[in-house]
Every structure is written in C-alpha cells, then in structure tokens.
Amino acid sequence: MTEASSAAPIVRVTDLSKTFRTLKRKPGLVGAIRNLFSTDYEEIKAVDHISFEIAPGELVGYIGPNGAGKSTTIKMLTGILHPTAGQVVVDGLVPQRERVRNSKKIGVIFGQRTQLLWDIPPTDSFELMRKMYAIPTAQYQANLKQFVELLALGELMKRPVRQLSLGQRMRCELVASLLHDPKIVYLDEPTIGLDVVAKERIREFILHLNQARRTTILLTTHDLTDIERLCRRVIIIDKGQLIYDGTLAEIKRRYGRRRRVVFSLADGASIDGLTTSLEQVGPGLQTQMRGDGGVVVSFDPQQVAATTITRHIVNNYPVADLSVEEANLEAIIREIYQQGMGR
Amino acid sequence: MTRVYEEIDRQLGIVVATVKQTLAYRFDFFTAILGALLMMALLYYLWTAIYASSTSMAMSYQALITYVCLGQAFSFARPGQRRILVRIGAGIRTGHVLMDLVRPTDYQLLTISDTFGAFLMETLMVSLPSYLVALLFFGISLPASPEAAFGFGVSVLGAFFLVSSVDFLIGLMAFWTMNVFGLVWGLGYLKIAVIDILAGTVIPLTLFPDWLRGIALALPFQGMAFTPLAIYVGTIQGSAIWTSILSQFAWGVGFVLLTRLVWLKARRRIEIQGG
C-alpha cells in the first residue's frame, strides 16, 4: 500500500461543500399548518470544504459521528448529488458530468438500503446486474463462482431476498455491487446491524477484495473494529468538516497517549475521598466510577508513571482487582467526537 | 452499434426482472381480474338501463357495451398500472431512489422499462382473461375489422407510453416538494379520475355534450383510453386510426421532452433522505 500512495490519486475531492436548504418546521398542529405557507428556510452545511485524495488500491476508513456528512460525501462521489461548491474527480471523470460512465466503474453499498429485488431470489438480482452493467458472460460466471464460494452463499441463492437474514442479505448485496469488477467501491456502513460472526465474514471479504483484486475502497462504519481490521488510513469528519486524515497508527500515537488504571475494591470498602486523594498523586488524572463498582483512572504516562498510581491505590485501599490498560481506539475516537480535534 | 445493443439488452433485463417480481405475487392477478369483472358488470347493467330509457344515442347498444367492457379489461386506472408513481414515490420517501440513480442507465428509461414489464404481465394475466370473459359472458363484439384489431393493439401500446410519460412527470414533482403523499399519491388518484372520465373509460367521449367532447378531444388524455377503445369498436376508422395513434405517440414524446427539461433541473436539486 505504500507504493500505491505515490501513484496518481484515483479519487480526488477538492474543497467539496454541500449545503441543504430545508424548511424550518414548526412543531404541533398549528405549526404544521403554518409550515404550509412558511418560507423560512434554514441552511445546513452537510459537507463543508472537504479535501482528500485516495490512491489506487487504498482501503480508507471514512468515519465520523451520525450526521457528520459521510453519506452525503459518498452520494457526491457517485455523481447523484451535485456539490454546492468544490469538485470531485473519480478516475479522471467528474461524476456529476458523466454519471453513466462513472457508474460503470464504481460499486456502491448503502448498508441501510437494499439493491436486491425483494420478492425473488438473489440470483435474479445478479442476473439483472449482468444485463445492467453488460458484463461478459465469462467474467460474470467467474466472478459469481468466486463470490459464492468466498461468501458461502450456496443455499441462499434460491430463497427470496425477503426471507434472508440481514447478514445473508448483506453478503448478497456485496455480490450484486461487485459483479462488474468496479475499480472503486464505496461501502456505506456495510456491517450495520450484523452480529459478530457475520461482521467478520464481511470484513474478510472486503480485505480479499482490496488485496487480491486491488480494488480501491472507501468504507464508512460506526464499528471501529472494522477500521482496525481493515484500514491503515482513516479520514475523520465531523459537522461536515475534515478533522483528521492520516494513518491509524498516528491517531493512536497522537491521541491515544492516555492510559487507564482500572481497579475494584474489596466488598464493603469505602471510596470516600478517592478522587481527591488521587488528584494529589500527579497532574492530569481523571477518575470515573463505573456502574459495576469499578473505578477507572485515566492518565498521561508522560506526566505520571503507572507505578506511582498503582502503588498509591494499593497502599491506601483494599484492592480486589487491578489492571493497567492501553487506550483503545474506541476511547480515542469517542474523545475526538466529543471534543473535536484541537477545536 | 454495440452500445445500442447493450442498452436494449439492459432495458430487457429490467423488463424481465419486473416480470419475475410480478410473478412472485400471482394471487394479485386474480384479485385484479375480479375487480375488472365487477366494474364491467356494473357498467354493463348501468349502460343497459340507460340505453333502455333513452330515445337516441350516438352509439349503438352493442358498440357501447363493447366499449365500456373493453375499457375495464384494458384499463390504465388499475392499481397494477401505477408502478412508476409507486416506484418514484416510495423511492423518494425512503431514499431508495439512490439505488436507481447509481445505475449506468437513464432514470426515466429505467422506470419506464420497469413498468413495461408490469404492463406486459397485466395485459397477459389480467386484461386478456377479463376480455375473454367479456366476450363469452357479456356478449361484447369482436374488433370491427382486422385493421381495427391491429390498430387497437398498437393504440394500447400508445396509451401505455402516454400514461407512463405523464406518470414520470408527476413523479418528478416529488423531487421538488419531497411531498410524496400529497403530491404523487394525490395526483395518482387524480390520474385515475382523469382516465375514468376525461379519457373516456366510463363514458365514451362520443356521448359527451359537444362542448365537453371538444375539450376532451383537444387534451392528451383521450389517448389513455378513448383512442384504443374507439378504434376497436369502429368509431374511429380508416385513416383516422393512424392519425389518432400518431397523436398518442406525439403527446407521449411531448411529455418525455418536457420531462427531460424538468429532469435536468430536478437532478441538481435532488436531496436524498436518510443516512
């Protein structure tokens, strides 16, 4: 993937913005009637001057809290939405200007929607895709055979889509959007609502797609395990603005400095004055009580040594259990979402 | 040339997909036939009674009965013939339209091909069986002439094209207002009223008062029902058959062109609901 990043970008997003104008809706019955005549619009900046590039063969995680503008960006990348300002270039094309040509090169999955024909077996949807993308028969059959094997579709192929479980359906969605060998694939929450086993299967498949087929992938998700398993690079956006673009390792290095001491006390022990007494151990300590009676102390190892804290706790309280933890990605991202980065 | 082939193949693929989907709910055909037959019976007895009590009428009893029964067999006011409105309306309301818009084909073409599959199945599974029942039990006539039979067939296609182009235009309005319930479905019901009355399904335009007939014949809606039915019974005959079919298609093309203009504007405004 390092050699990929030096190649000319396959996706280039330049100063992209999208503003929606929506009617300010007033609540209640009177409000509803007023809405009929209202011209009171409010502008929402869904995407606000975002720029990034993706090199061929990269697998990039595109994350952010709900409503951050992830899906809106993807809709602009596919050519469906027109930017209010800025530009998108995908493999040399401006998708808005050459939507049809662009659509043949891309595959899209919106995890919350289905592209499969609901009342009939997935095979019929695949057949439709064959015609839709004018896929040569040999290519179609080879791809289908491989995908069916990788995703263990076998039996599912004959059942109407409406009878499939979410995980089974999502596997079929992947097939439907990949049969035409797209160069670039946008996966918008492909693991949403799936159980751990189903998620893992999807992840393995995505990884295969990226590594064996060299497909460029932009992945949005709320499951950070997806990101840790799949992506080296992450783009984080919030409120329409780009707040981080870099490697996962860098995030951990930069923002994951804080580590945690987690401990619980022996039955009946009092935790009175714990917070105050810990604050005297060193600067920048944060104490949090957990619902199960555990206590979490987060600290910056450059300011206080873990041993200083643990020694203080063990010497002053009847400890039942104690451990020191690295900050995990979820904690880091939670902090980033909550505070914004340096904003 | 290969691109044209590809596009034809693509649209055929969409038609076939719809055919498969409609076949998943075969029971719907029976209810649709039943509905058509009930309406047929209602109109049959109604017009028989009206005919018995009137002194003069511009149509013969036999032609009149044939016309109204045939009108129910081949009706574009049936729920099954509303696929474009449902697809666009539901698509916009749920955001599913997204999946139609990422396809390497024209959205209008896609929806019309999709609805054509449903139209084919309705014709085969609902219209023709209802028609046969009408022939056998309501004693309606066969086509006035071989030319009338052929003209009727072409004209039904013309009616399909006209109805679809208007439906798509109505559906597009939802991209502006996002008001699917009021606009698209409301206008969908208005469309049924228009087809039943202004297009002359329930009352043949021939029997309209002069001034109203003048208006109805100047409007495009006659092409949605009156044209094929009048050709069948021989009210429209000779070269008029072909000029009236031409007029159906001309209106259809006109609506498609208008739609292209609207669509060019609509596309920039598209907002898609939900994550």
- The 10s digit of each residue's pLDDT in B237-247 is 999 999 999 99
- Order of strands across the sheet with A59-63? A106-110, A184-188, A216-220, A59-63, A233-238, A241-247
Q: Tens digits of per-residue pLDDT, B112-129?
A: 999 999 999 999 999 999
pLDDT at A224 over 70: yes
CB neighbours of residue A11 within 10 Å: 21
SS3 (DSSP) at A89: strand
Residue B20 and residue A78: Cβ atoms within 8 Å?
no
What b/e string do you get for A87-99 counting C-beta neighbours within 10 Å, with b at 16 or more?
Answer: ebbbbeeebbeeb
Chain B partners within 8 Å of A82 (Cβ): 267-268, 270
Percentage above 90 pLDDT, chain B: 71
In this prediction, residue B181 carries a pLDDT of 65
Interface test with A, best of B97, B102, B269 (most A CBs within 10 A): B102
Assess A119–B contact: CB distance below 8 Å, yes or no: yes
Q: Where are the beta strands (DSSP E) in chain B?
A: none
Residue B270 and residue A81: Cβ atoms within 8 Å?
yes
- Rounded to 5 degrees, what are φ and ψ at A86? 85, -175
- Indicate the Cα dihedral angle B131, B137, B138, B142, nearest 10°: 50
From CA A193, how far away is CA A190, in angstroms rounded? 9
pLDDT class for B275, splitting at 50, 70, 90? Answer: very low
List C-alpha distances in Å: A177 to A118, A144, B102, B123. 16, 11, 11, 33
Assess A130–B contact: CB distance below 8 Å, yes or no: yes
pLDDT at B56 over 50: yes
From CA B275, how far away is CA B268, in angstroms rounded? 19
List C-alpha distances in Å: A236 to A54, A219, A333, B59, B274. 14, 12, 9, 74, 20
| Mean pLDDT across A113-142 | 96
Q: Rounded to a whole number, what is the distance in Å from the CA of A86 to chain B's nearest CA? A: 15
In this prediction, residue B269 carries a pLDDT of 67
pTM of the model: 0.87
Is A142 or B26 the better-scoring residue by pLDDT? Answer: A142
Q: Give the nearest partner residue to B17 out of A112, A117, A189, using CB atoms.
A: A117
pLDDT class for A98, splitting at 50, 70, 90? Answer: very high
Least confident of A100-104, A108-112, A177-181, B90-94: B90-94
Chain A partners within 8 Å of B103 (Cβ): 103, 132
What does the block give as tokens for B142? 């066969």
Q: Tens digits of per-residue pLDDT, A64-80?
A: 998 899 999 999 999 98
Percentage above 90 pLDDT, chain A: 58
Residue A80 and residue B270: Cβ atoms within 8 Å?
yes
SS3 (DSSP) at B275: coil
| Mean pLDDT across A233-258 | 89
Assess A71–B contact: CB distance below 8 Å, yes or no: yes
What b/e string do you get for A13-38 counting C-beta neighbours within 10 Å, with b at 16 or more?
Answer: beebbbeeeeeeeeeeeeeeeeeeee
| Mean pLDDT across A278-298 | 82
Percentage above 70 pLDDT, chain A: 96
Q: Tens digits of per-residue pLDDT, A137-169?
A: 999 999 999 999 999 998 889 999 999 999 999
From CA B101, how far away is CA B153, in angstroms rounded? 33
Residue A75 and residue B272: Cβ atoms within 8 Å?
yes
In this prediction, residue A342 carries a pLDDT of 47
Chain B residues with CB within 8 Å of chain A CB: 6, 9-10, 12-14, 16-17, 20-21, 24-25, 94-96, 98-99, 101-106, 267-268, 270-272, 274-275
| Mean pLDDT across A315-320 | 87
pLDDT class for B273, splitting at 50, 70, 90? Answer: low
